[in-house]
Structure 1
């Protein structure tokens, strides 16, 4: 059943990402900003840690405890675990105030199927939502980045998340062209880990690969060369090992994954009408999401496509900031599905 006109005070905005979850509540701002990770005691079926606390346990869990990311490639991989994680985040969002069974606006990737979308709605309902509304992540990200999407000109956003990248061109308040690829920060982490194993016989966890990417990842041609010792396990002997690597080495595995995003951007541009193509050439495109924090990425894509590419001011918050604008400015435009 679809309904409109729900109380704004009871609406929360949720950016449920593969890597991180953000929740906005009117009057209190962004009140949840946590990794999308949960730890569960498998014998007791009890949540032992959530968010950052669970993230710090990845790969280090004691016997009987499982720390996991239940969202993969922007969709639910473990339904019951996702419900438990969302419920925990909803409880945190409620705080000491009364927010029993909130109405939830959920931003999701354009790449997901109707079946995957319904699974997300059902998970939110079972986690405690009274009703759920779905909006496209690139639309929310563009709003949050401050792009003038309501104007009669093309605005382009590339939202690089943990598991998916959404590329969209908008005009007059709607999405004109959109493409998605299930490549994001997680695939870059996997590529870095694979590179170290292939070149140095060093096995590191994906969590360590992610931290390495944050500290040393760059595709800037002018980046100062730095060297760091990386610790892991020798693939041959099985013993603890360490190797020294340069940040410039990481360009190879990173650009392998960025090539897939490049193709997605190119496919989107090739489908535009000439008028919109001219707008994008004049006004450029904006990068959002965690992937936009990669050193040198805006210059990389500007060189690839020959027009200005800029990174949003707070790329991690763009999507949830966009949901915030929907809640505050035009909540009546959102259609909620009740359980």
Structure 2
């Protein structure tokens, strides 16, 4: 029984979603990184977290605030983040309970020492016996099953909600790791700006995210999505409700700026690699992970812009948390991949 209720917890603490993996049980939490807070007598009371809190977006009373406690992959609201994680971890516990767990949390590759320390201190408050940190794209490389211990280089581009992260590993060593604070949320914002500019229509973040998920595409040509999407919002000129229709061409045009930014970011990383490693990457391609990898034809668009083949991994949203779980399982052989808090 003790082996079933292990003490190892891996957390992919993302701007958009948080995933929790428990050793022996797999991924047990996969919910939005959202917290509903009620302002009460000069203080704040946590009312809901995760999926339940997100369902209140646009429906919450004036006394309640819907927060995203993480911004660009790092903690923006310490109290809300701690309570969100506390409730998520509480749900993972069996009726027998855990001993004090070992916790590994994924952070952006470019997180500053102050940002890493904030995540570390928050995890310590969760009554962990040990806390470890790892860069998201490094964990994604392991979770995608890439041959990181071979001499030839393996490159991952992990696109989450707040950040796009790159890692290059060769012979089990991190050759390059960097972060761009432009990812899924930037795509939502690009759609909002486009609809405002072209249709003089104001839509919210939830509506923009729906458009991205249901009809988003990085390229409008070829055999991609052909469906139009109907949107409703507020007419900026009259203030009344108004409808509009977006075609795949519209959405591809709206998303061109963040896709270009991610392509330029990848190109700069390639330019700074050692010649032999670059040759390996050119031959093997770049592996896409994270929720952003699910954007229709993103791999094709990036391949055209960068000139290197991109491959979307299977279950790209789970690569980071599965990789972090593999690190905890073999901590002695993977300890050199960890980040300092």
Q: TM-score range by the shorter chain?
A: over 0.9
Q: Does 1:20 align with 2:17?
A: yes
Q: CA RMSD in A?
A: 1.9
Q: Which has the higher contact order (CA 8 A, sep 6+)?
A: 1
How far apart are the structure 2 equivalents of 1:154 and 1:140? Answer: 15
Which stretch shows the higher mean deviation, 210-219 or 304-313? 304-313
Deviation at 1:282, TM superposition (A): 0.9
CA contact (8 A) 1:73 1:163 kept: yes
How far apart are the structure 2 equivalents of 1:333 and 1:277? Answer: 24
Give the alignment of 1:72-111 within 5 angstroms: 72-111=71-110
CA contact (8 A) 2:139 2:320 kept: yes
Q: State the SS of the aligned residue for 1:299.
A: helix
Deviation at 1:88, TM superposition (A): 1.0
TM-score where L is the length of structure 2: 0.92
Deviation string for 1:135-164 (max 9, x for gaps)? 111110010011111111100100001000
How far apart are the structure 1 equivalents of 2:148 and 2:335? Answer: 17
CA contact (8 A) 2:234 2:240 kept: yes
Which stretch shows the higher mean deviation, 123-132 or 153-162? 123-132
Count of residues in Structure 1 that have an aligned counterpart in Structure 2: 331
Q: Does 1:261 align with 2:262?
A: yes
Deviation at 1:261, TM superposition (A): 1.0
Deviation at 1:332, TM superposition (A): 6.7
Q: State the SS of the aligned residue for 2:178.
A: strand
Deviation at 1:327, TM superposition (A): 2.1
Deviation string for 1:22-77 (max 9, x for gaps)? 11111111011111011122216332221111111123211211111100101111
Q: State the SS of the aligned residue for 2:6.
A: helix
How far apart are the structure 1 equivalents of 2:130 and 2:237? Answer: 53
Q: State the SS of the aligned residue for 2:265.
A: helix
How far apart are the structure 2 equivalents of 1:75 and 1:48? Answer: 22
Which stretch shows the higher mean deviation, 209-218 or 225-234? 225-234
CA contact (8 A) 1:108 1:134 kept: yes
TM-score where L is the length of structure 1: 0.93
Corresponding position of 1:142? 141
How far apart are the structure 2 equivalents of 1:331 and 1:230? Answer: 52
Unaligned runs of 5+ in 1: 1-7
